[in-house]
Amino acid sequence: MKLKEIYDLIIKMGIEHDPRGVQAVQKQLEKERKKIEELKEEEKKEVDQDRLFNPYTDTRVLYGDPDREVKRILAGVDMEVGEVVLADRLGEKGRQVDLIMAHHPEGKATAGLYDVMHLQEDLLAQLGVPINVAEGIMAGRIAEVRRGLMPLNHNRAVDAARLLDIPILCCHTPADNLVTEFVQKKIDDNNCETLGDIVRVLKEIPEYAEAVKTGAGPTIVVGAKERRAGKIFVDMTGGTSGSEDAYAKLATAGVGTLVVMHVSEKHRKEAEKNHVNVIIAGHMASDSLGMNLILDEIAKNGVEIVPCSGLIRVER
């Protein structure tokens, strides 16, 4: 496959499995196009043209010729300078790496991570939180994340890849969209009644079963295995953790249990205060599942996948 074909496939899959629905994503893209068209010529020069067709600012080709042929991908969760050097070393040992594929954002995709968090506003609205409240809750958190990203030296891995002439891309929200949909469907199909039922069902998924062996499997952090789950919300997409103010609104909207990749102590305490059960599914296992669903489609085209950096590779 060509690098551009891989990138296009990632965006296509992300949109097809976006929890907001394809129509809502297309509406967002149309708004973005109009906004760019209305800019002055000088301002247009600063616009990332990918925004015209890619709604996920945390997913980008960071370096590489779009027409470059890719036969082997080194894929992982966090692909930083060490992994770039690893790709080069594999090449020296006769296993040329044509593309480094990260899950977590690098380069300009890191700087754009905050922007995909608006997705969470629509998810809260779908659960019954009024959209004005959802936007109000998220506004402060989005601004906080944006400020937190500003001082980061986020281009290190991209600079290393450029020096070694190895293409690099990151695939964040599209993979998170897929894992969210997959896990929600798995839980719904099994009619989980208690938190223990949810944990059992999660452990039936190979990535989570493998994570159990390394002590990073599904864990109940608010509630107990005998507790009834109520309405279950799988919350694994939208950039990064949302606002802790959301838990009170989620409880009011009838959400009984959250299934998440990870949760901060501050968020955990807010969930506990509002009697919302929380299950941590596992960060690396969840990221691996989302990436695997995309990598499987790439592999169908004859591309070899070499997993590293926390990626639990499972083929379906």
Positive or negative torsion for Cα 153, 157, 161, 166: negative
Q: Does domain 3-172+286-308 have CATH number 3.30.390.30?
A: no
Mean pLDDT, the chain, as a whole number? 97
Structure tokens at 263: 């949760």
Q: In percent, how much of the chain has pLDDT > 90?
A: 98
Measured CA to CA, the distance from residue 268 to residue 45 in angstroms comes to: 43
Model confidence pLDDT, tens digit, residues 28-38 = 999 999 999 99
The helix/strand/coil state of 91 is helix
The candidate with the shortest Cα–Cα distance to 238, out of 149, 137, 118, is 118
**Predicted structure pTM score:** 0.96
Output the CA angle 93-83-148, nearest 5 degrees. Answer: 170
- Amino acid making up residue 210: E
Return the domain boundaries, the chain: 3-172+286-308, 178-282
Topology, domain 178-282:
3.40.1390
Q: How far is CA 105 from CA 95, 175, 184, 239, 259, in A?
A: 25, 12, 24, 10, 23
Average pLDDT score over residue span 34-54: 93
What are φ and ψ of residue 272, in 5° steps?
-65, -40
Read off the pLDDT of residues 184-194 as tens digits, 9 standing for 90 and up. Answer: 999 999 999 99
pLDDT digits (tens, 9 = 90+) for 59-73: 999 999 999 999 999
pLDDT score, position 76:
98
Mean pLDDT over 114-143 rounds to 95
| pLDDT on residue 274 | 97
Strand order in the sheet with 168-170: 60-63, 168-170, 99-102, 72-76, 304-308
